[in-house]
Every structure is written in structure tokens, then in C-alpha cells.
Amino acid sequence: MLTKKQVVAKYGKRTRLNTSDGNLKLVSNATTRFIVWNLPAVITCPNATELCKKFCYAKKAEIRFPEDVGGYRHQNLIESRKADFVENMTYTILDIAAGTKKKYIVVRIHESGDFYNKKYTTDWLQIMENCKVDERIKFIAYTKSFKFFDGVKLPKNFSLRASIWADTKQADIETIKRNDWNIYTAVDHFQTGDNFTRCRCKDCATCRKCWQNYKDIRCEIH
């Protein structure tokens, strides 16, 4: 891992981007620190299904808090389009990591939003590569932007969860199978007879199924 001085020496005194310290389920504890990066819901989700839009909790938060939640997410979108986004985000994550001695540092990419184009996706893959200097840092994303990752060799510090719904297109299912991605899906109630790992946890820092090597996970809609 790098110290704060080493981070500045490597990347300069960069813009500290607007991340958050988790949410109701991503609660940091004695061993784990969460970093969350969000974008506006729906407009940055090019492959959202109709069911996804219907149950989108992220959109509800923007409607309820248009200035606070919606405002900072739109500012993040602006930052993500800048030429120095990779350097700024790398600096932000490594600077936060340098300030903690916790065993795990988990970066949740998009509690709200998704990978909205190929360049933005490639930028994040480079950020992951840059952050390998600290082996504690793990990245996780639940995504429907399958076409931007099709055939891409993913960094070892990145857990991609292919997010599917009952109305996910068959072509997307084939892309998921072809790339052997781990799946994450939500249902009204758990069923029997499938091979999915059921997630009933209320504490992701203790559970860790999603960002460790569990294959397919199913949770109940929440």
C-alpha cells in the first residue's frame, strides 16, 4: 500500500471525487471499509430492463432528494467525462486507502447508475489496474452493461456481477454464459431447485459473498 505522501507524489494533488462511505447494507466495520461511487439512475443505464426501471430504488432516492442526491450524482457524471477522471478517481481511492489500516477496502461502483459507454468502462478498468498497488482494495459492480465487458479480461481485483431480471434478453444471457460471469438477481421470493446461493444478509461487510468467489447469487427484492 502507498502512504498519503506517496499517493500525492505519484498522482499529484488531484481533485478528491465525491464518494460515499457505504449505505444501509454496506456498513464499514473493524475489518472492512466501503467506498461507493454513484451516477444518475436510468439515464446512465443503457441496458436497463423494464423491470429494472420499475423497481429502481436509486431513482426513488433522486425523486425524494433532487438537490442533494440527484445533484451530487449529476456532478459525478460530469467528473466521469473529464480527461483526468482516471487520475482523479485513482487518487481518491488510494488516498482513502492510505488513511485506514483495515483488512478489506471494497469499492462499490454504481449503487446508482451503470457503465454508460465503452470509454467510461475502459477508464474504470484502468483505475482497477492502478489500484493493484494496494492488495486490500477490491472492486465490485452489479451491471447490465454486458456489451462493454464482452470478451474483456477482467482484473483479479474486480468482481463483476451480471445483474439479471426475469425480462433480461436471451442475447444478454448468452453473453453472460459465454464470458462465465457470476450472476446476481433479485426475486419476489426464494425458489427451490436452482443452484443459486441465497443472500439473506443485512450486513455485507460480514457476509462478503458478492465480492468473494461465490458463483451465482439470488436475493429477495428489497
Split into its structural domains, the chain has a count of: 1
SS3 label, residue 121: helix
pLDDT at 64: 81
Helix H or strand E encompassing 7: helix 4-11
Q: What local confidence, expressed as pLDDT, does residue 190 receive?
A: 45
Cell for 116?
454508460
Listed in sequence order, the residues at least 6 apart from 64 whose beta carbon sits closer than 8 Å to its beta carbon are: none
pLDDT number for residue 143 = 96
What is the span of the domain harbouring residue 215?
4-220
Q: What pTM does this model have?
A: 0.85
Q: How many whole angstroms separate alpha carbon 98 and alpha carbon 7?
A: 8
Tens of pLDDT, residue by residue over 47-72, are 999 988 888 878 877 778 777 888 99
pLDDT values of the chain reduced to their tens digit, one per residue, 222 residues: 889 899 989 988 899 999 988 565 666 778 899 999 999 999 999 999 998 888 887 887 777 877 788 899 999 999 999 999 999 999 999 999 999 999 999 999 999 999 999 999 999 999 999 999 999 999 999 999 999 999 999 999 999 999 988 899 999 999 999 999 988 765 544 455 455 555 555 555 555 555 556 566 555 555
What are 172-203's pLDDT values in tens digits? 999 999 999 988 765 544 455 455 555 555 55
Which one, of 23, 24, 25, 60, lies nearest residue 41 by Cα?
A: 60
- What's the rounded Cα separation, in Å, for the pair 30 and 206? 10
